[in-house]
Amino acid sequence: MMLTTYKLVVSFTLLFYFLCFCSVFSQGDPIKLGDFIRDEEDEVLFSDGHNFVMGFFGFQDSSSRYVGIWYYNIPGPQVIWVANRNAPINGNGGSFTITENSNLVILDENKNQLWSTNVSSVRNNMNNTEAFVRDDGNLVLSNDNVVLWESFKHPSDTYVPGMKVPVNGKSFFFTSWKSSTDPSLGNHTLGVDPKGLPPQVVVWNGERKIWRSGYWDGRIFTGVDMTGSFLHGFVLNYDNNGDRYFVYNDNEWKLNGSSVRFQIGWDGYERELVWNENEKRWIEIQKGPHNECELYNYCGSFAACELSVSGSAICSCLQGFELRDTGNLTGACMRMTALKGDQSNGSLGEDGFLERTYMKLPDFASVVVTKDCEGNCLENASCTAYAEVIGIGCMLWYGDLVDVQQFERGDGNTLHIRLAHSDLGKVLQRVPLALFPCIWIFNFNYHLSLVLFFHLWFMSNVTLSIDNKIFFH
């Protein structure tokens, strides 16, 4: 589950030396049919208020050229969108223009088409098709004021305020660069989980989750153990069709003369960055995953991850669960006593619930409309936990409880974990994992019982580190 280790601190000022941008020359009006923006002429397309600029860029010691959009009034330059990510132009003979079928295209020096907006043919007057960059960074292709295509619906690796991120099961992802100097599609994606409700933000490496924000409760993402605008700036809205989408309110940053953006880095980290005008640099104010416990399901099923004073991750089986295989020492946890419905001889009592506060709730929740959340869970033999969350309602979990984290600062929610009656009243001691291999390996007979007793007493004060995880049950 460990995220591949990269150098975490990447100076954005290095891009100033790597990126070879055009000089300041503006195509003042939107480009129309027959207009060209040429790389070799150092031509660019500005937004109305000169907040953003669209043009050609490349990297030192490389002949590959790309068409992108970046901040104009912020030094550095920081690219927020790239058109021809997987189809670079070789040399500076490239251009972009609008064709007779009303598409914006990128051409190489031989007029070969490398990239296109690929919209359907427009029946209206072709001469009325134009492309322009809005002041929020959105590239728009329109005909007679009807939007045909826009870059905000085809993002690269960066979210900027003004974008709408759909929630209703639609695939809408931000994809990382392959490296700091290669804008082609990388291995990591960022987006709202299309399979889950309530919505939550997820980072994937391929198809494997590596981080999630926790569930949206109408105000914040509840699984992020940090303060900051990441928790409070997003709003969930509805469009005219009833579809839901996230937007980000950056008015507070605008009042301070700052800009904010979110990016999925080539190293697999989601970051929130704010431009500090006084220091003339981008400041990272939030990152996911932020620590080992934020790595997806770091401790495995039915276990909780908690940070020690030193910041290292401590894994422990949830009360009522124990290590699955004491010989294998995999760290996986299993139920100590089967629930009533799974016991062949029946149970002496009814199942109940253990309450755990300040928790990052498990993944794969289901939301039901009911006035009796606990009773609804008890009625289903497969239900393993429930939570009642303001802004969400009754949440139920079936099967394994995965990606659970214990917070210490009052963050998170209360989780009710279903246990067999016999496990509800137990006061479980934090028995070190090192105790179990001793029992598994040594088979002392009755005459050596005294030796075993002192051995266990000694080992009960030892903690075993497994794959850099400290695991208790």
What band does 249 get if pLDDT is binned at 50, 70 and 90?
Answer: confident
pLDDT digits (tens, 9 = 90+) for 124-142: 677 789 999 999 999 999 9
Q: Give the C-alpha separation, 212 to 295, whole Å.
A: 8
CATH 3.30.360.10 fits 8-154, yes or no: no
Mean pLDDT, range 383-388, rounded to an integer: 98
Percentages helix, strand, coil for the chain, rounded to the nearest 5? 10, 40, 50
The pLDDT of residue 328: 47
Q: Give the C-alpha separation, 275 to 343, whole Å.
A: 59
Q: Give the C-alpha separation, 448 to 460, whole Å.
A: 18
For the cut 70, the answer to whether the pLDDT of residue 23 exceeds it is no
What band does 71 get if pLDDT is binned at 50, 70 and 90?
Answer: very high
Instruction: List the alpha helices (DSSP H) in 250-322.
Output: 251-255
Q: Give the C-alpha separation, 211 to 364, whole Å.
A: 14
pLDDT digits (tens, 9 = 90+) for 349-381: 889 999 999 999 999 999 999 999 999 999 999
pLDDT digits (tens, 9 = 90+) for 296-339: 999 999 999 999 988 899 999 999 999 876 554 445 799 999 99
The pLDDT of residue 432: 35
| Interstrand relation of 234-238 and 244-248 (parallel, antiparallel or unpaired) | antiparallel
Q: Give the C-alpha separation, 21 to 56, whole Å.
A: 6
Residue ranges covered by each domain of the chain: 8-154, 155-290, 306-472
What band does 13 get if pLDDT is binned at 50, 70 and 90?
Answer: very low
DSSP H or E stretch at residue 17: helix 14-18
Domains 8-154 and 155-290 share a fold: yes
Name beta bridge partners: 306: 314
- Chain-centroid distance of CA 51 in Å reads 27
Could you identify the residue written with the tokens 């991850």? Answer: 305
Whole-number average pLDDT of the chain: 83
**Residue 213: Cβ within 10 Å count:** 24
**Residue 421: Cβ within 10 Å count:** 15
Instruction: Give the Å distances, CA to CA, from 366 to 170, 192, 204, 387, 397.
Output: 18, 16, 21, 10, 6
Q: Give the C-alpha separation, 329 to 63, whole Å.
A: 52
For the cut 80, the answer to whether the pLDDT of residue 455 exceeds it is no
- Chain-centroid distance of CA 330 in Å reads 27
For the cut 90, the answer to whether the pLDDT of residue 409 exceeds it is no
Min mean pLDDT across 88-97, 158-167, 435-444 is at 435-444
C-alpha torsion angle, residues 127, 88, 189, 235 (rounded to 10): -30
Mean pLDDT, range 420-435, rounded to an integer: 59
**Residue 160: which of 270, 51, 228, 248 has the closest Cα?**
248
Determine the Cα angle at 266 with ends 264 and 269, to 5°: 50
Query: Which CATH architecture does the domain made up of 155-290 adopt?
Result: Orthogonal Prism (2.90)
What band does 347 get if pLDDT is binned at 50, 70 and 90?
Answer: low
**Residue 253: which of 221, 220, 229, 231 has the closest Cα?**
229
The pLDDT of residue 332: 78
Q: Whole-model pTM?
A: 0.83
pLDDT digits (tens, 9 = 90+) for 211-243: 999 999 998 899 986 544 454 689 999 888 888
- For residue 4, the 8-state DSSP code is P
The pLDDT of residue 164: 95
For the cut 60, the answer to whether the pLDDT of residue 263 exceeds it is yes
